[in-house]
Amino acid sequence: MPKTRMRAAALSGSPDEIELAFYEALRDGDVDRVMACWGDEDEIVCVHPGAPRLVGAGAIRRGYEQLLARGALRIQTEQVRRIESLACAVHSLIERVEVVDEEGGVDELYVVATNVYQRQSQGWRLVAHHAGPASGAELHEVNDNPSVLH
């Protein structure tokens, strides 16, 4: 997606569209497009697995610059759960990340992530991203809601 189109989506897209643009930017290794998905508030927050909490756009940008310094991420999202209201949306999901090891092989890592979006005057924006490592057992969710058959 061209940079100008991504910025337009970030200003007027739905939470799902902002999330898609965010992960596409990570797959392209484009920090500017990643940051276009974020809100401008001083209190936006990002936590990468095993890393300190990053608060504010400058700290978050530096964190993504470090994360993408070796190139784009091979990342896909799965099992998205959504809670949405008129002004806020929370998405809980699994990130599947492919990592190339020293011998050139590919390992899959799984991350449990929560993305929080807020409707602002500019449109929906990411205001919090919190991610932590997942074990194989965490890929199958524990759910108290019974299945409904019709």
**Domain assignment of residue 80, yes or no:** yes
Q: Which CATH number is 106's domain given?
A: 3.10.450.50
**Domain assignment of residue 147, yes or no:** no
**What does each C-alpha distance from 116 to 40, 97, 133, 144, 150 come to in angstroms?**
14, 20, 18, 23, 33
Query: Has residue 26 got a pLDDT over 60?
Result: yes
**Domain assignment of residue 150, yes or no:** no
**Domain assignment of residue 24, yes or no:** yes
**Domain assignment of residue 30, yes or no:** yes
Q: How many structural domains are present in the chain?
A: 1
The residue that leads in pLDDT, 32 or 139, is 32
pTM value? 0.84
**Domain assignment of residue 38, yes or no:** yes
Of 43, 45, 3, residue with least CA distance to 21: 3
**Domain assignment of residue 81, yes or no:** yes
- What pLDDT score does 40 carry? 87
Q: 69 is in which domain, residue-wise?
A: 4-133
> What are residue 48's phi and psi, to 5 degrees?
-90, 155
**Domain assignment of residue 105, yes or no:** yes
Of 17, 8, 5, residue with least CA distance to 89: 17
Query: Has residue 131 got a pLDDT over 70?
Result: yes
